[in-house]
Structure 1
Amino acid sequence: MLLNCDPNDREGSLKLVEELTTNADEVQQQVLQEILTQNADTEYLNGFLGGSSDKEQFKKKIPIVVYEDIKPYIEHIANGEASQIISAQPITELLTSSGTSGGLPKMMPSTAEDMDRKTFLYNLLVPVMNQYVDGLDQGKGMYLLFIKPEISTPAGLMARPVLTSYYKSSNFRNRPFNRFNVYTSPDETILCSDSKQSMYCQLLCGLVQRDEVLRVGAVFASAFLRAIKFLEDYWQEMCSNIRMGHVSDWITDPGCQNAVSGILRHPNSELAHLIESECNGKSWEEIIRRLWPRTKYVDVIVTGSMAQYIPTLDFYSGGLPLVSTMYASSECYFGINLKPLSDPSSVSYTLLPNMAYFEFLPVEKNHEELNHGVRCNGDSEPNCLNKEGQEEGEEQEQEAVDLVQVKVGHYYELVVTTFTGLYRYRVGDILMVTGFHNNAPQFRFVHRRNVVLSIDTDKTNEEDLLKAVTKAKLLLEPLGFLLTEYTSYADTCSIPGHYVLFWELKMRGNGDLPELETRIMEECCSTVEQSLDSVYRRCRSKDKSIGPLEIRVVKHGTFDALMDFCVSQGSSVNQYKTPRCIKSEKALNILDSRAVGIFFSRKTPHWEPFRIEAK
């Protein structure tokens, strides 16, 4: 079901949203029928259904899967096998997700038609936003957008992040003319593969056009704050460029040179002086309001792990509304926020029933293991269990419910069947139903299943963290040290943010803990980093969006004190488990107050673009 949306037709677009959400169930059944009919003869579906496109048989015979189940099919396509093994439509590219499998990004199939489906959702954002904020067609958006590394598979398909795919597409370059879609960043600066030159030029263009800027943003809160930190480091040079009317000589990318020159045009000492006076003050509080005074809101995703950046965004923006407009992933674009000015803690997304066929695995709050005040990854919700009491990630057949069958206040894991060749695929997102818009449910994103640490696009789960810590502690064991406990948190007070690990060590026997050798502990930090997945290492070494990992060694008995605190907050002594990620400020104070050594990684972990080997 492929629909068109003209972003200039506000009335028609909003009417379409009403029709889709009112007829949510009918649209969903039509979507599933279309997917099954279109792909009935694919190797994957035919193996289960024998050419049938019956919904009941689909529910009965098609298993609910995770990435490891479909990975062989994706690899076959990457290596040259026909798309027909999973999709009747040609697979035109593979989208690399920020989630990982075996240390490498997952690869999701995509088709030419699917780009149009994503564009449909982007176009809907315009009329929805115009309902709540007047005059957005009277200025520009300073959106800081970037591309990331891509490779060519043995079959000649491009494998790249979903946003890189979109920015490089004709759909983005030829987006319908609408003042809402006019950005201060020329396309050439967005498409520059040198992230430093891209960042510099986009910010410079944003400063030159400051009087036209009505909204600022990036995709994720982390990326926007990284840009602010970059501006702190380079504003003086940018002011010099504005004063001279010429971009710095180290900007060597031809597209950036030409695009920025067309915007700088001539020297402007008055603008340079104004920016200098704002940036040279005692504090950068409200710097966004001061540099771009007409700004109405900050457009960034601040749900899920990005919620940890809200206080810092409020500081820099002076309390401007933080708008999370859409919910999407590499697997599929899901839905939009129909109330974009709602408080970040209340953001709910309406899943659009034409985007894919949605199912939901019920999960329940685990009241027995609730660690009040000790929150993982910024989530205020407790751990989730499925109906049989299993923890998330444990395999057991569960009965999935359809989109319109979910219940308000209940928790679910999202499962999708897409037009691109994914069938009953577990996305890994835990959602809570907050209400309905007409007959379409609205969901609050709670967290990613099993993810404990995230700063940018990285998603480190408990198992990966354990493996990395296990490798690092081997450096200490020959010296007589034992790692007795550990936990972690994502420190976003600095920009860029970084991982912090708390380690409690003891000596073999009963000896007191001697002074720790800095060189050895720094090597432990580096070993942890090198042992984490390629997405983390890319963010550290190429994107510079994550800072050096830190280990804080705490004195003996610290984790006993942490347990006492958790029990005092309502945890069960019998079922207490040390949380592997902590967000509670009080719990962090307990750990910090007992730190006896602080160490940082001094090496940048090795990273290179992942390779797909022909088989």
Structure 2
Amino acid sequence: MPASTTPMREAMNGKNHEENEIISWFEEVAENAGRVQTQTLGRIIELNFGVEYLKKWLGHLQFQDIEPTALESLYTSLVPLCSHADINPYIQRIADGDSSPLLTQQPITTLSLSSGTTDGKPKYVPFTRHSAQTTLEIFRLAAAHRSRVYPIRKGGRILEFIYSSKQFKTKGGLGAGTATSHYYASEEFKMKQKLTKSFTCSPEEVISGGDYNQSTYCHLLLGLVLSDKVEFVTSTFAYSIVQAFTAFEEMWEEICKDIKDGSLSPRVTSPEMRNAVLELNSPNPPLASMLEEKCRELKGLDWFSVIPNLWPNAKYVYSIMTGSMQPYTKKLRHYAGSLPLVSADYGSTESWIGVNVDPSSPPDLATFTVIPTFSYFEFIPLSRQKQDSTSAVDDFLEADPLPLSRVKVGEEYEVVLTTFTGLYRYRLGDVVEVAGFYKGTPQLNFICRRKLMLSVNIDKNTEKDLQLAVERGSMHLSRTKAELIDFTSHADLSVQPGHYKIYWEIKGQVDDEILKECCRGMDESFNDYGYLVSRKSRSIGPLELCIVEKGTFKKVLDYFIENGAAMSQFKTPRCTSNPVIIGILNRCSIKHFHSTAYV
């Protein structure tokens, strides 16, 4: 063996050893998930015993006197389920500078902001060192599983569309921003970069630039400069990748010029970002000419398969593609061509939950295996109400929460979290289905968010119901060259009877008669009993399809970014009651159609 190959082989062996080690660890905790969950709860309670919140429920106990075998039943019998509203007074005190142990014994120096798409405004959630550590851990675990299916070269690069949001200080001086922004600023993220020899194409100045338009341009530019080294393309959400390549369709010529000259477009105004990018972009006329030629060909193909054509060594595209991201997978598949789409892992601002251990599964079949060391998990059994129900409270009936080990395959549940960061029996609001078990730990399908619901009367249609209706209604667009770019909805109660308004942004021209069919098709696709009865009795009016002008959903995105959201964490709200968003949508509506179903 030539001596020069030895270090490379040793490096690969070391990498394989690390991957095998973390997978072996996970196999063991998955096999013993029930016992591990008891231990996890014990560690959380022991670490935080005596904090003000827990004193209300456990103040009469001494931790050392609690029998480990009785811990779970004692904890769940004494500590009630809670929502964010229940812990918000404590979080506000922390934000205002109260440093006493309110939720955790570990000082909380940073607060994360949720995306705000469920309730219309972001929520504060505690972020601690543990949050960053579990993020690094799940990234390593997921990467190890992906590497077994799609091996990547040591020293390759990742075209990673990641963005930090603007951070600010609370009244008490704590840093506040999105969880992704905190992670990108953490030692754990820097460790990931060092462990992978700076895999990410873009430097820190691009990631934390604060302007997603400028950062996207630089991500694309540097990704193309390093095009032969890119192993895969990724972002937190599928939306970000689609947005990036939609922008690329408009600015590829400018990017090619920058590669040719070693320059940087004046659209990038941040001095820090400019200096960092110019340092990495040397003049490369041959690469620029090759890219220009390919882009002209791809433009004629409506940019089909742009990713494997411009990044020939890319193995897959990796992102969250479930839930509200599912509608973007069609466009992502268009850009990815034959490259595999790999669904990323399941988590929330509050906690990571599950890892995708089968990256070869297509996104619509992906399941997420619960990691029993990250939090203590409970599952509230949910059942759909009978079809003759006239209850307007909720579309689910609940039973008592179950521990992880007692859930059943095929049943639906709401996820409840007890975390190391100070959330105790916290109702996440996510509805999941148990798809199976991986050894002793459940594998989940994400179904919907409970609060994201269209309702006018006794009708209850979830985000998933809406997505199915939009999919069926938009099938009529297949007769044209147009495509649905994005959508959202609103239960309009400003007129009587109230009705559903669904907003579409479309690329291309569509005849009005086809749009009328789309509108009727959506109306007929909602099969909720309350909706059917209400439509036929005319206590809910005809569904209204509103076509909005080009760029409307970018205005919605800009609104969220201006109010503290990060591009890497943004999700288009599928159902909104936010008056600002509704105002944008209504001002940008250029055509209106009303369903003729049930006439």
Shared fold per TM-score greater than 0.5 = yes
Q: Paired residue for 1:252, among 252, 262, 269?
A: 269
Partner of residue 277, structure 1? 293
CA pair 102-17 structure 1, distance change in 2 beyond 3 A: closer
Residues 1:217 and 2:218 are matched in the alignment: no
Paired residues for 1:385-404 under 5 Å: 392=394, 398-404=399-405
Paired residues for 1:518-537 under 5 Å: none
Deviation, 1:576, is: 3.4
Residues 1:343 and 2:332 are matched in the alignment: no
Segment of structure 1 superposing worse, 570-579 or 141-150 = 570-579
Retained in 2: the 8 A contact 1:489–1:500?
no
Partner of residue 54, structure 2? 45
Partner of residue 180, structure 2? 163
Deviation, 1:417, is: 0.3
Partner of residue 195, structure 1? 212
Counterpart of 1:400, as a letter, is P
Deviation, 1:47, is: 0.6
Retained in 2: the 8 A contact 1:392–1:450?
no
Q: Paired residue for 2:284, among 264, 268, 292?
A: 268
| Aligned mates of 2:408, 2:335 — CA distance in 1 | 38
Paired residues for 1:99-498 under 5 Å: 99=116, 103-137=120-154, 139-175=156-192, 177-179=194-196, 182-265=199-282, 267-281=283-297, 282-283=300-301, 284-366=303-385, 368=387, 392=394, 398-452=399-453, 497-498=486-487
Segment of structure 1 superposing worse, 49-58 or 85-94 = 49-58
TM-score normalised by the chain length of structure 1: 0.73
CA pair 598-211 structure 1, distance change in 2 beyond 3 A: closer
CA pair 149-495 structure 1, distance change in 2 beyond 3 A: farther
Retained in 2: the 8 A contact 1:393–1:450?
no
| Aligned mates of 1:574, 1:358 — CA distance in 2 | 34
CA pair 336-181 structure 1, distance change in 2 beyond 3 A: farther
How far does the alpha carbon of each residue in 1:519-565 deviate from its partner, in whole angstroms, 9 at most, with x for none? xxxxxx9xx99xxxxxxxxxxxxxxxx999xxx9999x999966994
Counterpart of 2:145, as a letter, is V
Deviation, 1:117, is: 2.4
| Aligned mates of 2:399, 2:364 — CA distance in 1 | 30
| Aligned mates of 1:359, 1:56 — CA distance in 2 | 12
Counterpart of 2:37, as a letter, is Q
Segment of structure 1 superposing worse, 125-134 or 436-445 = 125-134
Partner of residue 518, structure 1? none
Deviation, 1:12, is: 1.0
| Aligned mates of 1:207, 1:275 — CA distance in 2 | 8
CA pair 558-307 structure 1, distance change in 2 beyond 3 A: closer
SS class of match (1:361): strand
Structure 2, unmatched stretches of 5+, are 1-13, 64-70, 460-467, 537-541, 566-599
Retained in 1: the 8 A contact 2:385–2:395?
no
| Aligned mates of 2:27, 2:243 — CA distance in 1 | 38
CA pair 494-149 structure 1, distance change in 2 beyond 3 A: farther
How far does the alpha carbon of each residue in 1:105-158 deviate from its partner, in whole angstroms, 9 at most, with x for none? 111112223322222222222211111112342521111111112221011111
CA pair 574-223 structure 1, distance change in 2 beyond 3 A: closer
How far does the alpha carbon of each residue in 1:33-59 deviate from its partner, in whole angstroms, 9 at most, with x for none? 111122221111111111534433311
Deviation, 1:390, is: 8.5
How far does the alpha carbon of each residue in 1:297-355 deviate from its partner, in whole angstroms, 9 at most, with x for none? 10111111111111111111113211113111110111210001201111000111000
Residues 1:32 and 2:33 are matched in the alignment: no
CA pair 217-440 structure 1, distance change in 2 beyond 3 A: same
Number of aligned residues: 505
| Aligned mates of 2:495, 2:85 — CA distance in 1 | 39
Segment of structure 1 superposing worse, 182-191 or 417-426 = 182-191
Counterpart of 1:215, as a letter, is F
| Aligned mates of 2:519, 2:27 — CA distance in 1 | 55
Counterpart of 2:436, as a letter, is G
Deviation, 1:249, is: 3.5
Retained in 1: the 8 A contact 2:382–2:399?
no
| Aligned mates of 2:227, 2:152 — CA distance in 1 | 16
| Aligned mates of 1:291, 1:576 — CA distance in 2 | 53
| Aligned mates of 2:253, 2:550 — CA distance in 1 | 30
CA-atom RMSD, angstroms?
Answer: 4.0
SS class of match (1:104): coil
| Aligned mates of 1:177, 1:285 — CA distance in 2 | 35
Retained in 2: the 8 A contact 1:436–1:442?
yes
SS class of match (1:350): strand
Retained in 2: the 8 A contact 1:145–1:219?
yes
Counterpart of 1:499, as a letter, is T
| Aligned mates of 1:435, 1:234 — CA distance in 2 | 45
Partner of residue 114, structure 2? 97
CA pair 553-405 structure 1, distance change in 2 beyond 3 A: farther
Counterpart of 1:99, as a letter, is G
| Aligned mates of 2:429, 2:334 — CA distance in 1 | 32
Segment of structure 1 superposing worse, 243-252 or 61-70 = 243-252
How far does the alpha carbon of each residue in 1:68-100 deviate from its partner, in whole angstroms, 9 at most, with x for none? 111111111111112511111111211110136
Retained in 2: the 8 A contact 1:92–1:112?
no
| Aligned mates of 1:602, 1:324 — CA distance in 2 | 27
Segment of structure 1 superposing worse, 91-100 or 348-357 = 91-100
Retained in 2: the 8 A contact 1:450–1:462?
no
CA pair 434-14 structure 1, distance change in 2 beyond 3 A: same
Retained in 1: the 8 A contact 2:469–2:521?
no
| Aligned mates of 1:113, 1:416 — CA distance in 2 | 15
TM-score normalised by the chain length of structure 2: 0.75
Retained in 2: the 8 A contact 1:229–1:495?
no
Counterpart of 1:220, as a letter, is F
Retained in 2: the 8 A contact 1:95–1:161?
yes
Retained in 2: the 8 A contact 1:412–1:430?
yes
Retained in 1: the 8 A contact 2:383–2:398?
no
Residues 1:499 and 2:515 are matched in the alignment: no
SS class of match (1:408): coil
Counterpart of 1:66, as a letter, is S
Deviation, 1:609, is: 3.5
| Aligned mates of 1:427, 1:448 — CA distance in 2 | 9
CA pair 393-495 structure 1, distance change in 2 beyond 3 A: closer
SS class of match (1:224): helix
| Aligned mates of 2:147, 2:80 — CA distance in 1 | 42
